[in-house]
Amino acid sequence: MIPKQRRFAGLMLAGIVLSGAIASCASSDRSDKAIKLTLVSYAVTQSAYEQIIPQFVEEWEEKTGQTVEFAQSYGGSGSQTRAVIDGLEADVVALALALDTQKIVEAGLIEAGWEEELPNDSIVHKSVAAIVTRDDKLKLNNWADLARDDVQVITANPKTSGGARWNFLAFWGSVTQAGGSEQQAANFVAKVLKNVPVLPKDARESSDVFYKQGQGNVLINYENEVILANKKGEKLPYFVPTDYNISIDNPVAVVDANVDKHGTREVAEAFVQYLYTPAAQREFAKVGFRPVNETVAAEFSAQYPRIDKLFTAKDLGGWQQIQTKFFDDGAVFDKLLAEVGK
C-alpha cells in the first residue's frame, strides 16, 4: 500500500514541479537590458497605441540609448481598473473616464492630484456623443427627438459600460444644461429608456447589435467609435448634436506605486508626456478621437463638427456625485429603468 501511495504522490509532485517550472519559464523574459513598461487601457484605444508605441520606443532609444519593451492590455475600462487595483502592475493607465482613475487613487496606487501632473488636466483625448440612424428616412435633428415614438434606441448599459455613462449624461445634460429642471430631465430620459429594446454590455457590442444584428433604428455611441466603425465599412448616416453635447474626456495617469516599485518613473512620465506631442495626437485623431493639441485639432477640424455648448462631467457635479446620484444601486438610472421596465 504505502510504496504505491508514494509513487502516486511522487507523480503528483512531479506534475506540480513541472507546472511550476513551466510557469517560471513563461514569466521570465530573455532580454534583461530592456526596460519594461506596462500600459493598461480600454478597448478602442488599441489601434492608436499600436502606432504610437513604436514611435516612442524609437525616440526614447535615440535620446537615452535604452530599449523600452511595452506590455499592453486592453479591455473594458471598469474591468481594467479592477485588474490594476487587484494587482495588475500597470505603469501607465489610460482609462475611459476619470471615475475609474479615481478608484485607483482610492486604492492607494496613484497619488492624489494626478490631474495636475499633465497638460489639460491629464485629459489626453476627447470625444462627444454621436447619433447613428438606420436610414435617411428617419429624420432626427436633436436630442429631444430620441423620445419620439418611432425611434428605437440602442445604447450600452451604463452599469457595465463607461461609454454608456457618458451617453446617459448627454441625455440628461441636454435638458438641464438648456435650462430644464431635473424633473424634466428625468421625464425625458425615461421616455428615451422606454424606446430602448436592448441594453448591450459595452460600446462595441452596442455597435454590433445595431449594425450586424439590425436591432433598433438609432444608435448612440462615442463619436470615435462611430468614426472607427465607418472606417471599418459600417457606413450608415450619423450626426453629432451640436447644440448641446457632452465632452467625453479620457484621462491618462502614471501609477505611482508601480513605477516606484519597478524603477520606471522616468520613462513612464516621458511616455505620457509623449502622448501630448503632435505626432501622438495625430494617431489618436486618425482613429476618431478629438485631439487636445490645438494644432492637430485644426488639421482634423473637418472631421469634427463644432459643438456650441459643450458640457463636462464637472458641470453635472463631478464624477463622485454623478456616480452616487445616477448609477449606484437604486439611484436615478435604476429608478427610471424600473419605471419603464414594468
Partner 1 sequence: MLRNKLVLIVVALSYLFLVLFIPASTVFYEAFHRGINAFVAATTSREFLQAVKMTIIIAAIAVPLNTFFGLCAAWVIARNQFRGRALLISIIDLPFSVSPVVAGLMLILLYGRNGWFGNWLEIAGIKVIFALPGMVIATLFVTLPFVAREVIPVLEEMGSEQEEAARTLGASDWQIFWRVILPNIRWGLLYGVLLTNARAMGEFGAIAVVSGGIIGKTATLPIFVEQAYKNYQTEAAFGAAVCLGLLAAVTLILKEILERRTAIASK
Partner 2 sequence: MNQITLHQFQPRKSQKWWTKISLPWTVTVSYLSLILLLPIAALISKSLTLENAEFWQIASSPIALSAYEVTFITALIASLINGVMGTLVAWVLIRYEFPGRKIIDAAVDLPFALPTSVAGLALATAYSDKGLIGQFFAPFGIKIAFTRLGIFVAMLLISLPFVVRTLQPVLQEMERELEEAAWSLGASQLQTFWRVILPPLIPPILTGIALGFSRAVGEYGSVVLVAANIPFQDLIAPVLVFQKLEQYDYAGATVIGTVMLLLSLVLLLGINFLQQWGRRYAQK
Minimal CA–CA distance to 149: which of 236, 237, 217?
217
Does position 4 interact with partner 2 (CB under 8 A)? The reply is yes
Residue 177 zone, left/alpha/beta (φ > 0; ψ -120 to 50; rest): alpha
**57 binds partner 1 per the rule CB under 8 A:** no
DSSP notation for 43-78: GGGHHHHHHHHHHHHHHHHHHHS--EEEEEEEE-HH
User: Which of partner 2, partner 1, none does residue 13 bind to, with CB < 5 to 8 Å depending on kind?
Assistant: partner 2
* Contact string (CB under 8 A) for partner 2, positions 47-86, x = contact: -----------------------------x-xx-xx----
Provide the grid cell at 325.
Answer: 446620484
Candidates 34, 59, 74, 186: give the one binding partner 1 (CB under 8 A): 74
Please pick, from the candidates 9, 10, 13, 15, the single residue that binds partner 1 as defined by CB under 8 A. 15
Pairing of strands 92-94, 153-154: unpaired
Q: Does 2 bind partner 1 (CB under 8 A)?
A: no
Where b means 16+ CB within 10 Å and e means fewer, 192-213 reads bbebbebbbebbbbbbbbbbee
Q: Is 34 in the site for partner 1 (CB under 8 A)?
A: no
Residue from 9, 12, 13, 17 in contact with partner 1 (CB under 8 A): 12
Q: According to the binding rule CB under 8 A, does residue 228 interact with partner 1?
A: yes
225 and 203 Cβ atoms separated by less than 8 Å: yes
Is residue 47 part of the contact set for partner 1 (CB under 8 A)? yes
Q: Which of 57, 103, 195, 222 binds partner 2 (CB under 8 A)?
A: 103
One character per residue 151-190, x = contact with partner 1 (rule: CB under 8 A)? ----------------------------------------
Other CB atoms within 10 Å distance of the CB of residue 31: 8
